[in-house]
Amino acid sequence: MLTTTHSPLSEALTGAVVLPGDARWDEARSAFNLLLDQHPAAVAFPADADDVVGAVAYARGAGLRVAPQATAHNQGPLGGLENTLLLNVGALQEVHVDPAAQRVRVGAGVKWDRVAPRLSAHGLAGLHGSSPDVGIAGYSLGGGMGWLARKHGLQANAVTAMELVTADGSLVRADADHHPDLFWALRGGGGNYGVVTAIEFAVHPVDDLYAGALFFPFERSSEVLHAWSALLPTLPDELMSWASVMHFPPIPDVPAFARGRSFAVVMAAYLGDEAEGRALLKPLRDLGPERDTLATVPPVVLGDLAMDPLDPVPFHLTHQLMDDLPAETIDELMAKVGPGSGRGPTVTILQFRHMGGALAREAPGAGARATLPGEVCMIALGAVFDEHMDVAVRDALADIDAAVLPHAVGEYPNFVEVPADASRFFEPGAWNRLRDVKRRYDPADQFAGNHHVPPAGDA
Ligand SMILES: Cc1cc2nc3c(=O)[nH]c(=O)nc-3n(C[C@H](O)[C@H](O)[C@H](O)COP(=O)(O)OP(=O)(O)OC[C@H]3O[C@@H](n4cnc5c(N)ncnc54)[C@H](O)[C@@H]3O)c2cc1C
């Protein structure tokens, strides 16, 4: 627990408050991306929903904005956080799983790693993404695109209710019957509408799951990406696959076979039996991978499949949603950052995720982030450990963006790591409705979501 400094703010809640100059200040204000250097006015750690009410009331009286935070995995877009109370809900750790109803209720500080194993034991899975370390609240508020997304869509639209403290200090429940406009806006509009204290969502039975990864030598990256891209139009919604070029650091956290090595990797998760899965992936297996981990597995395995880092990392990241990944774009990308490009491991991971399926279909009753455009999502990340790498990574990511831009059809806010104009993430109708709901629930713009939705009427 972080130290509590005595201040008027600390009288507003029972949980800890950390102020500039406190021994734990740097820890309290730090984010998953270690390149960030944010300076909020204070950081509060409410112990429960009443504490959230107290902290929000204090901030209102003190003229501070409130930035809700769970795990700090996407704090970059918030900028410097001047004149803002950072409100970390990490202590809200309630977890209730109802396997019969296929429903989950969690406190806003809960990460996927506390829920996925319990669901898996009941043959169920939630719509989590690549990292079990990501918070369910922030992931769901921005969209949530994971392993089962082609079959079941975005996690935001699996949400059945949220409880939140709004700008007037009330603790409200937003669902299809209560505050339906607010419920719509929260599912994609992010942390702009209040501090979420609890979230409820539907999960899915997983009878059969065939999942794992095919590892190929780095030198074969081009061949693997071409084969993967050609396969996409043949794949059913039950099969999600991601193709990556990955450079693993030589650290103990990385499995021994991969430590310090580079690979082209195709990861896949198929909601079906092994024989069907093998048949669907045959063209890739026929290439002769160096290592093949595909097997019938319980859903909990999906949490580890992508091998995402669990500890904070200093990094730059870019992404694009693309209508296609044509052969010439793969060639251009490989020439810029692949084997023989001379760039070595500058781009730690260049990943392509298959999209489409349920991601492109608006479900009845969906929220503001109903769908995502594109057939492929490109994500590129470069770890940065010194100034030289900072320049090299920025240059490499800019080259990647230039290569894929002709096929870019949109952006996904959860993958945007820098301050941005959020209007470009939504269709004009949805954007205007988000701003209208903001005007009704937070007219003074007290809440700073990671991607800002200003109240209607504000410039
Ligand atoms: C390693 C890694 C892997 C990832 N993999 C995926 C993936 O596979 N698929 C995918 O879709 N995304 C993925 N993401 C992106 C992830 O969805 C976003 O970073 C998401 O915003 C994280 O939410 P959080 O609560 O963990 O982080 P935070 O930084 O704590 O929250 C992000 C934002 O969410 C809002 N928020 C959080 N909690 C609350 C709350 N209680 N009340 C109101 N607003 C709140 C705030 O606006 C906050 O700024 C990944 C990110 C990382 C770093």
pLDDT in tens, 129-168: 999 999 999 999 999 999 999 999 999 999 999 999 999 9
Distance from residue 85's CA to the centre of ligand 1 (Å): 18
Distance from residue 111's CA to the centre of ligand 1 (Å): 10
For residue 100, give the amino acid letter.
A
| Cα–Cα distance for residue pair 48/302, rounded to 1 Å | 31
What is the pTM (predicted TM-score) of this model?
Answer: 0.96
For residues 22-44, average pLDDT: 96
Distance from residue 187's CA to the centre of ligand 1 (Å): 13
Separation in Å, CA 186 to CA 61, 276, 429? 25, 38, 16
Task: Tokens for 271, please give them.
Answer: 């909601």
How large a percentage of the chain has pLDDT more than 90?
94
340-377 pLDDT, tens digit each: 899 989 999 999 999 999 999 999 999 999 999 999 99
Distance from residue 413's CA to the centre of ligand 1 (Å): 10
In a mutational test of the pocket of ligand 1, which residue from 136, 139, 302, 349 has the highest number of ligand atoms less than 8 Å from its CB?
139
CB atoms within 10 A of CB 424: 12
Q: Is the pLDDT at 6 greater than 80, yes or no?
A: no
| Cα–Cα distance for residue pair 19/106, rounded to 1 Å | 28
Quickly tell me which residue has 């019957």 as its tokens: 177
In a mutational test of the pocket of ligand 1, which residue from 34, 66, 74, 186 has the highest number of ligand atoms less than 8 Å from its CB?
74
55-68 pLDDT, tens digit each: 999 999 999 999 99
- Residues 140 and 202: beta-carbon distance below 8 Å: no
Task: Tokens for 84, please give them.
Answer: 């803002």
Task: Tokens for 134, please give them.
Answer: 């990501």
Angle between helices 387-404 and 327-337 (to 10 degrees): 170
Identify the residues whose C-beta falls under 6 Å from ligand 1: 32, 68-75, 78, 89, 108, 129-131, 134-135, 137-139, 141-146, 190-191, 195-196, 308, 414, 449-450
For residue 334, give the amino acid letter.
M
Distance from residue 84's CA to the centre of ligand 1 (Å): 19
- Residue 107, helix vs strand vs coil: strand
Question: Which atom from ligand 1 is nearest to the alpha carbon of 449?
Answer: 47
Q: How many residues does the chain have?
A: 459
Q: Is the pLDDT at 253 greater than 50, yes or no?
A: yes
Nearest CA to ligand 1 atom 46: 191
| Cα–Cα distance for residue pair 301/287, rounded to 1 Å | 25
Closest CA to 270 of 238, 297, 234, 303: 238
Quickly tell me which residue has 């939504």 as its tokens: 426
Task: Tokens for 74, please give them.
Answer: 């996407």
Q: Is the pLDDT at 3 greater than 50, yes or no?
A: no
| Cα–Cα distance for residue pair 76/426, rounded to 1 Å | 20
Question: Which atom from ligand 1 is nearest to the alpha carbon of 194?
Answer: 43
Q: What is the DSSP string of 13-76?
A: -SSEEE-TTSTTHHHHH--SBTT-----SEEEE-SSHHHHHHHHHHHHHHT-EEEEESS-TT-G
Q: What is the pLDDT of residue 5?
A: 54
Closest CA to 225 of 242, 212, 211: 242
Distance from residue 227's CA to the centre of ligand 1 (Å): 32
In a mutational test of the pocket of ligand 1, which residue from 69, 89, 148 has the highest number of ligand atoms less than 8 Å from its CB?
69
Binning the chain into helix, strand and coil, the percentages to the nearest 5 are: 35, 25, 40
Quickly tell me which residue has 């209730």 as its tokens: 96
Task: Tokens for 178, please give them.
Answer: 């209560």
Nearest CA to ligand 1 atom 7: 129
For residues 65-87, average pLDDT: 96
For residues 244-263, average pLDDT: 91
For residues 8-25, average pLDDT: 93
Distance from residue 226's CA to the centre of ligand 1 (Å): 31
Q: What is the four-CA torsion angle of 337, 341, 343, 346, rounded to 10 degrees?
A: 20
Distance from residue 87's CA to the centre of ligand 1 (Å): 14
| Cα–Cα distance for residue pair 192/454, rounded to 1 Å | 8
| Cα–Cα distance for residue pair 144/157, rounded to 1 Å | 9
Q: What is the pLDDT of residue 2?
A: 47
Q: What is the DSSP string of 164-216?
A: EE-TTS-EEEEESSSSHHHHHHHHHHGGGS-EEEEEEEE-EE-S--EEEEEEE
For residue 71, give the amino acid letter.
T
| Cα–Cα distance for residue pair 306/131, rounded to 1 Å | 7
Distance from residue 74's CA to the centre of ligand 1 (Å): 5
Question: Please, what is the average pLDDT of the chain?
Answer: 96
Which of the four pLDDT bands, split at 50, 70 and 90, describes residue 254?
confident
Nearest CA to ligand 1 atom 3: 131
429 CB contacts (<8 Å, ≥6 apart)?
none
| Cα–Cα distance for residue pair 207/124, rounded to 1 Å | 8
Distance from residue 166's CA to the centre of ligand 1 (Å): 20
- Residue 319, helix vs strand vs coil: strand
Q: What is the pLDDT of residue 458?
A: 74
Distance from residue 113's CA to the centre of ligand 1 (Å): 14
305-340 pLDDT, tens digit each: 999 989 999 999 999 999 999 999 999 999 999 998
269 DSSP β-pair partners: 211, 240
In a mutational test of the pocket of ligand 1, which residue from 136, 414, 416 has the highest number of ligand atoms less than 8 Å from its CB?
414
